[in-house]
Structures are given as structure tokens and as C-alpha cells.
Structure 1
Amino acid sequence: MDVKRFKEYISWLYYQYLLVTCSYVLEPWEQSIFNTVLLTVVAMVVYTAYVFIPIHIRLALEFFSSLCGGQHESTVAIMS
């Protein structure tokens, strides 16, 4: 893919973003505020998913393994 086509594709994607969010009717300073808020919200959602989803998956696996008769892991180390 050459650079010109890639540049046109990115421009088309940005135009689609403007159309979908209806931000093409905003003034430039309003667009920057809107984009900043949107980027902040997306970043917080991604961070929260990165931090909390593995914890919830682990807890769900422990719960379902205990329902199926799995062994519980001991939190106390066995000392000999």
C-alpha cells in the first residue's frame, strides 16, 4: 500500500469519525474539548478493563471450579 492511498484512507476514516460523532458542526475549540473528553473516557475504560477483567476472570474460574468439585487452594503454607 503506497503512502498516498494510506493517507487518503486515514483522511476518510477521520471524515467518518466526524460524521458519526456529528462533531463536524462544532467549532475547532469545541472539537478539541470533545476529542479530549472522548479520549480520556476511552483511556479510562481500557485501563479499567486491563486492571479488573483478569481479576474477575480468576474469581469466576475459582467459583466454577469449586462448584465442579475442584480442590480449594490453601493460603497457608505447609511447614515441615
Structure 2
Amino acid sequence: MDTKNMREYLGWLYYQYLLITGIYVLEPWEKSIFNTVLFTMVAMVIYTSYVFVPVHVRLALEFFSGVCGGQHESTMALMN
């Protein structure tokens, strides 16, 4: 893909973003505030997913392996 087509395509994507979110009617300073809040929230979701999802998946796997009969002997000895 050549540079001109890529630039036109990115411009088209940005235009679609403006239309879908409805921010094309805002003033420039309002657009910048909206974009800042939106991208900050997206960054926070990505960071939270990166940090906490693996921990929750590991804990869920440990829980379900325990529920399905995968308990260790040391756990059973403590329960008796």
C-alpha cells in the first residue's frame, strides 16, 4: 500500500470515528477533552487487564481444579 492511500485510509478512519462518536459537532477544545478522557479510560482498561486478568485466571484455575477433585494430599491431611 502506498503512502498516499494509507494516509487517505487513516483520514477516512478518523472521519468514521468522528461520525460514530458524534464529536464532529464539538469545538476543538471540547474534542481534545473528550479524546483525552476516552484514551485515558482505554489505557486504564488495557493496563488493568494486563495486571489483574492473569491473576484472576490463575485463581479460577486453582479453584476449579480443587472443585473437580484435583486436591493435593497435604490439603486433605489438613482437612481431617
TM category (shorter chain) comes to 0.7 to 0.9
Counterparts of 1:73 and 1:4 in 2: how far apart (Å)?
66
What's the counterpart of residue 78 of structure 1? none
User: How far off its partner does 1:73 sit?
Assistant: 9.0
Give the number of equivalent residue pairs.
74
Percent of counterpart pairs with the same letter? 74
- Which runs of no fewer than 5 residues in structure 1 stay unpaired? 75-80
Off by >2 Å, runs of 4+ in structure 1: 71-74
**TM-score, normalised to structure 2's length?**
0.87
| Structure with greater helix share of residues | 2
- Give the gaps of 5 or more residues in structure 2: 75-80
Partner residue of 1:22? 22
Distance, in Å, in 2 between the alignment partners of 1:4 and 1:13 is 14
Corresponding position of 2:59:
59
- The CA RMSD measured in Å over matched residues stands at 1.5
1:38 aligns with 2:52: no
1:73–1:8 CA distance, 2 compared to 1 (3 A): farther
